[in-house]
Amino acid sequence: MVFWIVDQWKSGFLFKKRMAYGNWGAFVYKNGERQKNREDNTPYYEDELEPGYYQAFGGNDESGLRQSTKKDFHCVHASLGDGDFRLCGYKSWPEIYYKKNNVDIADYRIEKETPKEKWDWYDSDGIEGEMGGYKFKAWPSDGPEAVNLELIEPDGTQWTGKSGMYMGAGYED
């Protein structure tokens, strides 16, 4: 989540600086180019509200449902993909959405020998798979606590991202 602070002077001018709201955030890239509009945003509703604070707190009603659609979507730190698919990072774990439905990430765990009900994201090698022509991979990262994200769309567009502690708007890329 992001908020604006107004306390920095440069060259005699006061300016607003975009900062992560709290200590969780993300960096998102599409074909190597930073996509700030996909950081601290809501899957499928990236253009509905300004990224950051307004997405996190202005888009949902008091029951947690999206005001515009009454669906169960919440702000995530990273939202990779266009069209039907989104690979997202929320804090230090991944979320998958396909055709605006949440998908169980455990179905795509790399360690298939581990029973789904005993699988633990934080003690795993991550997830990978393909859905609707979208190829994706996510794996836990240490230092800081984070999740690495990779997505290749059917047309070859490549997305990468990292969501976690002490990153995102206001932190070094």
From 27, 49, 48, select the one nearest 38 (Cα to Cα).
27
The pLDDT tens digits of the residues spanning 76-124 come to 889 999 999 999 999 999 999 999 899 999 999 999 999 999 999 999 9
> CA separation (Å) from 75 to 78, 96, 107?
9, 13, 23
pTM, entire model: 0.80
Alpha carbons 83 and 153: distance in angstroms, whole number:
9
Name the 3-class secondary structure at 38: helix
Q: What's the DSSP call for residue 140?
A: E
The pLDDT tens digits of the residues spanning 1-17 come to 333 333 333 344 333 34
